[in-house]
Structure formats: structure tokens, C-alpha cells
């Protein structure tokens, strides 16, 4: 009853404030926010609000992308960034598609063995903590490339609200309080001086970011070159050098974001558009979906034994290929078409049987293991014109390398750890990589980020993605299947418990206390090793679904502080 009174009060308040906008409040479990025209879903309400306000002013999804990305750098420094990179997939109002790669690059002075000691042994922490872990950031190049190609509003109109947010400050959430406390020791280790986060920040405190506001003001005044060639570049390089890094002004001035052709494939009457290398997301998602397409998952049932078997076996086979073949397409030849061809994938599932789990040791390429960090962030935007974008951006680890440039107001990534530093030897996340993803100057490290757009019968259906390291791909997969095979709403699809298998370790990971015990027991009897302890969160999915009547439904993952805003 209390909840009902609260909901009514909230509804009245909303109606009073915005009388002309019919907003349907989210039913906590069944439906996300439903709006008529346009929507932004991100990891923080402040960023969703800024993106949505840009759309309300007449901006398009690309304008909103610029504002949202930078608002996340202010409101969600855990993964939102100026010092990292990401990927964007779009489908515009006439159905044209594309992808943007603003992934970090290895510095010019980097070498294949830079994280190995004189005995060829991996040096702990060097690729994850502090200045040596940092790749050349791509985010500012990315947002300016998007604005140049598709933006309609002046950059000042887009950036001013972000700068205002940084000056006004952001209220700490309970989840953020926990995260800041957890990483105190790492902040102290990575930084010579104390940083803004070395404080006992509590939920409901407000953190102001005046230095970041100044940096954004210079970028607003001088454009992308401020970050790559201007005063900001010089101050960043000085800071990196002072902290023992190898980034130079040459590295920054040579950085360019790259437009890429997305991976596109069909599944039933869906057309799926996802990110191409140097992200493994699109290829891996295509492999898995094409391997499971012949099986009648809706008949087996959601999270039923047979459904989990089919998906697990397809994941096992796709992840076995992933690290062996994939890397930066500017450096390695990737047999992309072959990897997602029907003939190849039919053969891959030929030794699968419902009677018994396949063993990962029986699946080639059996020498690579993938475990990545979870601390990325995703946002989806659909505008009132019908443009859709799907963006995943990251610092890699939580707060990246933990190295915070107090002079400029942002964290630097530790994306160099996504390279395979020593083929065959696990890094701190247990990652064992292959030659295709070895370090070279100016090369981009392999990613799992899977920003994805789905069409149904030629019409826009969904924009979806998630953080979660190697679990990104399987969380995006399950969310699409939840809507398509199991008729869930967007919010139900996001809420539904998820599982994950990535070939090695040969383990099906389940969200704890979420799956039917009988199902887990029957999987164990079939020879599957299961783990429910070490996977408290498998992704934080944010998505938007176009409903049959043309309205938009947001799915904002309640595993985080994620919020959908629209009109
Ligand atoms: N750093 C995580 C990823 O790129 O997948």
C-alpha cells in the first residue's frame, strides 16, 4: 500500500511538472519506461537526462551521444571516461548502418614484451595499474568524429550541460559509495598524490568536478585537437611522464577514430547489426546465434535445461575461436566471413549431443582462455527521427589504471591489459591470448564490447548492449533471445537471470540464487560443471525496444543505477 501511495505521489508530481508529456511509469518487473518519441538509457540518471534533453531540444541521437558519453565521464567515473575509448553502432532513420571504433591504441614506444621481465615472466600489475597500463585514449576523437559526420546542434549546446553538471556536482549513490571505498588501496598505489576520490565519500554526498569542467571548457572552445595537440595534450603527456608512462605528444596527435563496417547477420526474421573487430563482439555473437538458430529454444523454454545446453555449447565453440583469430584488423587478417558462414558453423555443432556435455578440451582452438574485467558501461539512444545508436565505452578495469590526472580531472584507462602480453600465460584476469592480439605500436587491443542494433522484418526493433568483459557477448545474446524467443518485454528481458560459458574455464556460470535447482542438477548430471558463487553480476544490460505501436520501451538494468529517460 505504501508503495502504491508513493507511486501515485510520484505520478502526480511528474504530471504537475511536465503536464504535456504523458509518461508511463515503469512497472518494476514487467515493463520499463514507455515513451512516444525518444529515449536514452544509461548507467546514471544524470547522463540519461542530459542525453534526453539534447533530443528534446531538437538534437538527434548523434548529438545526444556526444553529450551522454561525456556526461558519463562526469557522473560515472567508474567506466565513463575521457581517458578511455569505445565502440558505437548506428542505424539511421533511412536504415543506413555503420560503426565507429574509438578504441585506445598502443603507444608508439610499446613493445611486444613490455610486460615481461628479463626471464620472460609476466610482471604483475604492470599492464593494469598506473601509467604503463595506459593506451592512447580515443573518446574525444570518437565523439568529435560522430559530431562532425552526423551532428546537428552546435557543440556548445551539447557540452554546456555537461560542464554545468561537472561544476554543480554529482550525488553519490549507495553503489558508488561501495565502489569508491573498495578501490581506495588501488588509488593510493597508483597515484603519487591524493586524488579527489581519496575521501570517505558517502551516499548522498555531492562530488564536484571543477577541474574536469575546465578541461571540457577548453575542449568546447578548441575542439578535438585540444585533447590531442593542444594545452590539454601537453599537460597530459607531462603528467604521464611524471608517473613513469611512455605516452608522447606524437601518440596523441596521431590518434584517429575509425569508421568501420559492422558485422551483420540474420537470425529468423531478425537482422542483427553489431560491432566488428577490433571488437570480438559482433563476430562472436553472430557465431553463437547462427549455431543456435536451428534449435527450437522457445519450445524448450526460458532457462530450461535444453536451452542452456544449446546456448552453452554454441558459446563454447564461438569462444574457442575468438582469441585465436581476432585482433586489430589494421594489423591482422581476420577470416571474418568464414567464421560466420553457415557451412563453417554447421560443422562446429556437428559433435553436439543433448545426451552429454562436450568437453572444452575436445574443442579446437583449445589453447586460449578469455577472462576480462567487468567495468565497462553501455548506453542506448533512439531519437524522435528514428535514428538508433548503441554505444559501449570503457576504461577497462574499474576506474581504469586507477591513475587519476588531477590536473585535468579524469582517470586513465588500463586497456593495455586487453592485449595478450604473453601468448599462453594468463594476465591478472586469467586471460591467455594469442598472436593475433599481441602488442604492437599503434595497434588496438581486442575487445568484447558488443553494441548491437536489431531489426525485425526490415524495421528497427532494438538497441542493446552491456558491460561485463567476456560476459558482454552472452548477456547481449540472452537479452535478444528473451525478447525474440520468449516474448519478454524489454525490462523483463534485462531483468531475467543470466548464465555464461566462455569455453575456458569449462564452467557454466549462473547468477546466484536465480536458476531452478532441478535445472542445475540435470545439467550437472549431463556432465556440465557449474558455478553459482563467482558470478554475482553478469552484465548490466541497457536497451530500448520499439513496440508494435511504435512507442519505445526502455530496459534499464537494476543490477546498477541504470535509468531510462525519454519523452
Ligand atoms: N576492456 C573490456 C573490453 O574491451 O571488452
| DSSP assignments along 365-413, one per residue | STT-B------EEEEEEE-TTS-EEEEEEE-SSTTTTS-EETTTTEEPP
- Predicted local distance difference test score (pLDDT) of residue 5: 38
Please give the model's pTM, rounded to 2 decimal places: 0.92
Read off the pLDDT of residues 247-264 as tens digits, 9 standing for 90 and up. 999 999 999 999 999 999
Cell of 389: 545508436
Closest CA to 169 of 294, 74, 274: 74
| Cis status, amide bond into 209, omega within 30 of 0 | no
Helix, strand, coil in percent for the chain, rounding step 5? 35, 20, 45
Pocket test for ligand 1, best of 394, 413, 445, 468 (most atoms within 8 A of CB): 394
Give CA–CA dist 19/370, Å, rounded.
Answer: 51
**b or e along 7-38 (b: 16 or more beta carbons within 10 Å of the residue's beta carbon)?**
eeeeeeeeeeeeeeeebeebeeeebbbbbbbb
Atom of ligand 1 nearest to the CA of 449: 5
Read off the pLDDT of residues 194-247 as tens digits, 9 standing for 90 and up. 999 999 999 999 999 999 999 999 999 999 999 999 999 999 999 999 999 999
- Predicted local distance difference test score (pLDDT) of residue 3: 39
Q: Judge contact between 400 and 83, C-beta under 8 A.
A: yes
Give CA–CA dist 42/255, Å, rounded.
Answer: 27
Helix (H) or strand (E) segment spanning residue 46: helix 45-56
- What's the Cα-to-Cα distance from 39 to each of 35, 43, 64, rounded to whole Å? 7, 14, 10
Closest CA to 262 of 415, 92, 417: 92
Active site amino acids: 376
Give CA–CA dist 521/528, Å, rounded.
Answer: 9
Q: From ligand 1's centre to the CA of 96, what distance in Å?
A: 26
Atom of ligand 1 nearest to the CA of 372: 2
- Predicted local distance difference test score (pLDDT) of residue 324: 80
Read off the pLDDT of residues 470-498 as tens digits, 9 standing for 90 and up. 899 999 999 999 999 999 999 999 999 99
Read off the pLDDT of residues 83-133 as tens digits, 9 standing for 90 and up. 999 999 999 999 999 999 999 999 999 999 999 999 988 898 999 999 999
Read off the pLDDT of residues 336-389 as tens digits, 9 standing for 90 and up. 889 999 999 999 999 999 999 988 878 865 333 344 455 799 999 999 999 999
- Predicted local distance difference test score (pLDDT) of residue 470: 85
> Which of the two residues, 427 and 288, has the higher pLDDT score?
288
pLDDT at 555 over 70: yes
Give CA–CA dist 259/100, Å, rounded.
Answer: 5
- Residue nearest atom 1 in ligand 1 by C-alpha distance: 396
Atom of ligand 1 nearest to the CA of 445: 4
- Predicted local distance difference test score (pLDDT) of residue 370: 40
pLDDT band at 465 (very low <50, low <70, confident <90, very high): very high
What percent of the chain stands above pLDDT 90?
81
Q: From ligand 1's centre to the CA of 447, what distance in Å?
A: 4
Atom of ligand 1 nearest to the CA of 448: 5
- Predicted local distance difference test score (pLDDT) of residue 322: 84
Q: Judge contact between 444 and 234, C-beta under 8 A.
A: no
Q: From ligand 1's centre to the CA of 399, what distance in Å?
A: 13
Cα angle value 304/308/309 (rounded, 5°) = 115
Q: Which residues line ligand 1 (CB under 6 A)?
A: 372-373, 376, 394, 396, 418, 447-449, 469
Cell of 273: 547489426
Q: What is the sign of the dihedral through the CA atoms of 418, 84, 100 and 374? A: positive
506 φ, ψ (degrees, to nearest 5): -80, 75
Pocket test for ligand 1, best of 81, 128, 277, 376 (most atoms within 8 A of CB): 376
What percent of the chain stands above pLDDT 70?
90
Cell of 391: 554505444
pLDDT band at 503 (very low <50, low <70, confident <90, very high): confident
CA dihedral of 64, 70, 73, 76, whole degrees rounded to 10: -20
Read off the pLDDT of residues 305-350 as tens digits, 9 standing for 90 and up. 999 999 999 999 998 888 688 899 999 988 888 999 999 999 999 9
Q: Judge contact between 414 and 128, C-beta under 8 A.
A: yes
Give CA–CA dist 403/413, Å, rounded.
Answer: 8
Pocket test for ligand 1, best of 285, 319, 418, 500 (most atoms within 8 A of CB): 418
Give CA–CA dist 98/260, Å, rounded.
Answer: 7
Cα angle value 202/204/209 (rounded, 5°) = 85
Over residues 397-402, mean pLDDT? 96
Cell of 138: 580515443
- Predicted local distance difference test score (pLDDT) of residue 423: 67
According to DSSP, the residues that pair with 158 across neighbouring strands are: none
Least confident of 66-75, 260-269, 415-424, 523-532: 415-424
Give CA–CA dist 166/169, Å, rounded.
Answer: 5
Q: From ligand 1's centre to the CA of 78, what distance in Å?
A: 14
- Residue nearest atom 3 in ligand 1 by C-alpha distance: 447
Give CA–CA dist 427/433, Å, rounded.
Answer: 9
Atom of ligand 1 nearest to the CA of 418: 1
Cα angle value 32/35/39 (rounded, 5°) = 85
According to DSSP, the residues that pair with 258 across neighbouring strands are: 101
Helix (H) or strand (E) segment spanning residue 546: strand 542-546
Q: Judge contact between 561 and 45, C-beta under 8 A.
A: yes
Read off the pLDDT of residues 517-526 as tens digits, 9 standing for 90 and up. 999 999 999 9
- Predicted local distance difference test score (pLDDT) of residue 20: 34
User: Counting Cβ atoms within 10 Å, is residue 62 exposed (0-12), middle (13-18) or buried (19+)?
Assistant: buried
> Which of the two residues, 428 and 377, has the higher pLDDT score?
377
Atom of ligand 1 nearest to the CA of 397: 1
- What's the Cα-to-Cα distance from 469 to each of 170, 284, 443, 480, 551, rounded to whole Å? 26, 13, 20, 18, 31
**In 229-327, where does DSSP find H-type helix?**
231-242, 249-254, 281-292, 297-300, 305-325
- Predicted local distance difference test score (pLDDT) of residue 430: 43
DSSP code for 36: S
Cα angle value 449/236/257 (rounded, 5°) = 35
Q: Helix 155-168 crosses helix 61-75 at what angle (to 10 degrees)?
A: 20
Across the chain, mean pLDDT equals 91
pLDDT at 26 over 80: no
Q: From ligand 1's centre to the CA of 465, what distance in Å?
A: 13
Q: Judge contact between 480 and 547, C-beta under 8 A.
A: no
Q: From ligand 1's centre to the CA of 450, what distance in Å?
A: 10
pLDDT band at 457 (very low <50, low <70, confident <90, very high): very high
- Residue nearest atom 4 in ligand 1 by C-alpha distance: 447
Q: From ligand 1's centre to the CA of 103, what distance in Å?
A: 9
- Predicted local distance difference test score (pLDDT) of residue 19: 34
Q: From ligand 1's centre to the CA of 398, what distance in Å?
A: 11
Amino acid at each position: 500500500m505504501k508503495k502504491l501511495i508513493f507511486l501515485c505521489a510520484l505520478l502526480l508530481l511528474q504530471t504537475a511538472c511536465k503536464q504535456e508529456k504523458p509518461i508511463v511509469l515503469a512497472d518494476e518487473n514487467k515493463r520499463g519506461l514507455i515513451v512516444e518519441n525518444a529515449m536514452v538509457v544509461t548507467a546514471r540518471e544524470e547522463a540519461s537526462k542530459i542525453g534526453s534533453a539534447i533530443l528534446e531540444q531538437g538534437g538527434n541521437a548523434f548529438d545526444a551521444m556526444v553529450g551522454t558519453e561525456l556526461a558519463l565521464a562526469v557522473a560515472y567515473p567508474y567506466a565513463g571516461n575521457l581517458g578511455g575509448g569505445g565502440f558505437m553502432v548506428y542505424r539511421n532513420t533511412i536504415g543506413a548502418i555503420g560503426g565507429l571504433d574509438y578504441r585506445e591504441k598502443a603507444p608508439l614506444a610499446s613493445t611486444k614484451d613490455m610486460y615481461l621481465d628479463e626471464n620472460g615472466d609476466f610482471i604483475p600489475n604492470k599492464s593494469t595499474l598506473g601509467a604503463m597500463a595506459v593506451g592512447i585514449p580515443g573518446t574525444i576523437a570518437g565523439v568529435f568524429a560522430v559530431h562532425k559526420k552526423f551532428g546537428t546542434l552546435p557543440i556548445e549546446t551539447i557540452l554546456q550541460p555537461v560542464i554545468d553538471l561537472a561544476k554543480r556536482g554529482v550525488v553519490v549513490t549507495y553503489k558508488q559509495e561501495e565502489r569508491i571505498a573498495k578501490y581506495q588501496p588501488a588509488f593510493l598505489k597508483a597515484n603519487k598524490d591524493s586524488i579527489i576520490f581519496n575521501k570517505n565519500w558517502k551516499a548522498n554526498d555531492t562530488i564536484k568536478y571543477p577541474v574536469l569542467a575546465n578541461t571540457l571548457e577548453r575542449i568546447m572552445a578548441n575542439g578535438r585537437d585540444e585533447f590531442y595537440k593542444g594545452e590539454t595534450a601537453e599537460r597530459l603527456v607531462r603528467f604521464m611522464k611524471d608517473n613513469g608512462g611512455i605516452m608522447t605528444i606524437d601518440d596523441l596527435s596521431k590518434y584517429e577514430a575509425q569508421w568501420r563496417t559492422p558485422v551483420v547477420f540474420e537470425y529468423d526474421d531478425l537482422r542483427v547489426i553489431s560491432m566488428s573487430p577490433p571488437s570480438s563482439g559482433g563476430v562472436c555473437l553472430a557465431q553463437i546465434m547462427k549455431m543456435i538458430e536451428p534449435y527450437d529454444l522457445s519450445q524448450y523454454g526460458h532457462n530450461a535445461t535444453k536451452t542452456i545446453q544449446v546456448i552453452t555449447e554454441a558459446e563454447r565453440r564461438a569462444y574457442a575461436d575468438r582469441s585465436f583469430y581476432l585482433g586489430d584488423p589494421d594489423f591482422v587478417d581476420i577470416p571474418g566471413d568464414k567464421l560466420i558462414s553457415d557451412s563453417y558453423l554447421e560443422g562446429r555443432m556437428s559433435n553436439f549431443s543433448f545426451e552429454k556435455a562436450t568437453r572444452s578440451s575436445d574443442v579446437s582452438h583449445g589453447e586460449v582462455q578469455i577472462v576480462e574485467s567487468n567495468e565497462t558501461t553501455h548506453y542506448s539512444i533512439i531519437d524522435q527521427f528514428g535514428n538508433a545508436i548503441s554505444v559501449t565505452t570503457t576504461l577497462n578495469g574499474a576506474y581504469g589504471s586507477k591513475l587519476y590526472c588531477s590536473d585535468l580531472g579524469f582517470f586513465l584507462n588500463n586497456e593495455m591489459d586487453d592485449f595478450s602480453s604473453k601468448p599462453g600465460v594468463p594476465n591478472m584476469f586469467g586471460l591467455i591470448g594469442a598472436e593475433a592480439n599481441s602488442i604492437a605500436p599503434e595497434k588496438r587491443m581486442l575487445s568484447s564490447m558488443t553494441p548491437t542494433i536489431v531489426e525485425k522484418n526490415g524495421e528497427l526493433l532494438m538497441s542493446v548492449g552491456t558491460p561485463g568483459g567476456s560476459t558482454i557477448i552472452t548477456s547481449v545474446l540472452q537479452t535478444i533471445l528473451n525478447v525474440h524467443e520468449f516474448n519478454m518485454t524489454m525490462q523483463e528481458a534485462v531483468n531475467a537471470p543470466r548464465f555464461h560459458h566462455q569455453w575456458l574455464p569449462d564452467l557454466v556460470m549462473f547468477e546466484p540464487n536465480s536458476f531452478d535447482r532441478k535445472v542445475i542438477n540435470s545439467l550437472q548430471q549431463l556432465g556440465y560443471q557449474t558455478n553459482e558463487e563467482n558470478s554475482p553480476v553478469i552484465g548490466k544490460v541497457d536497451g530500448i525496444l520499439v513496440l508494435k505501436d511504435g512507442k519505445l520501451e526502455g530496459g534499464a538494468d537494476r543490477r546498477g543505477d541504470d535509468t531510462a529517460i525519454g519523452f
